[in-house]
Amino acid sequence: MSEKLFDEQTQIFPSDWKSAHASHKQLMEMKYLDMVIKETLRLYPPVPFYGRKLAQDFVEGTLYPKGLTVFLFPYGCHRSAKYFPEPEKFIPERFENWTGKLPYAYTPFSAGPRNCIGKFLLPTGQKFAMLEMLAIISKIIRKFKLAPARPEHEMQLAGETILISKNGVNISLEKRL
């Protein structure tokens, strides 16, 4: 996967892949990197759960009265075979033809009127965060080869305000020549 990401970068930046700053057009060309980021956010959503207060009665077989606080759990929904076949596997290609037919099945930054700050900066909610991730990760991929530092390392996740790893994320960086 690391080499596939690097190949995409060298196609987008054929002459100056090491030091070039990405334009908006180039960021939009990073299809595979975009899929890798989305798949990472599916498995490790920064907002693992969030609460909402019902503005009106909601009936789905059971009455949920107006004013009730409900908690949503993207971490669990993102790992449901109902929405994502082979949910525990890292498969970036699942986002290749993602149409958003089930818009609330994939909500790494929450959803609805109290969505992430990005919706105030750009027309599509999480676009600002995605553009930042594309730009930063693109630069890292062009400068370094990435690999797991210790393949046996298993993250210990904790759902606090955001999802964190209590024992870190171990990666190996090797400078590209």
Looking at residue 32, its pLDDT comes to: 98
Taking only the tens place, the pLDDT of each residue in 113-172 is: 555 555 544 445 577 888 999 999 999 999 999 887 776 778 888 887 788 889 888 888
The domain ranges of the chain are 2-93+104-144
| CA–centroid distance for 174 within its chain | 24
Looking at residue 122, its pLDDT comes to: 47
Looking at residue 115, its pLDDT comes to: 56
- 77 labeled part of a ligand binding site: no
Looking at residue 141, its pLDDT comes to: 94
Taking only the tens place, the pLDDT of each residue in 70-109 is: 888 888 999 999 999 999 999 999 999 887 667 778 888 7
Q: Please say whether the beta carbons of 133 and 41 come within 8 A.
A: no
- pTM for this predicted structure: 0.83
Going by pLDDT thresholds of 50, 70 and 90, the confidence category of residue 112 is low
Taking only the tens place, the pLDDT of each residue in 7-22 is: 999 999 987 766 778 9
pLDDT of 34 > 80? The answer is: yes
**HSE (CB half, 13 Å, CA atoms) of 143?**
10
Looking at residue 6, its pLDDT comes to: 93
2-93+104-144 falls under which CATH superfamily? Cytochrome P450 (1.10.630.10)
Non-local CB neighbours of 48 within 8 Å, separated by 6+ positions: 73, 74, 75, 159, 162, 163
pLDDT of 38 > 90? The answer is: yes
Looking at residue 175, its pLDDT comes to: 92
**How many angstroms separate the most distant Cα atoms in the chain?**
62
Non-local CB neighbours of 169 within 8 Å, separated by 6+ positions: 155
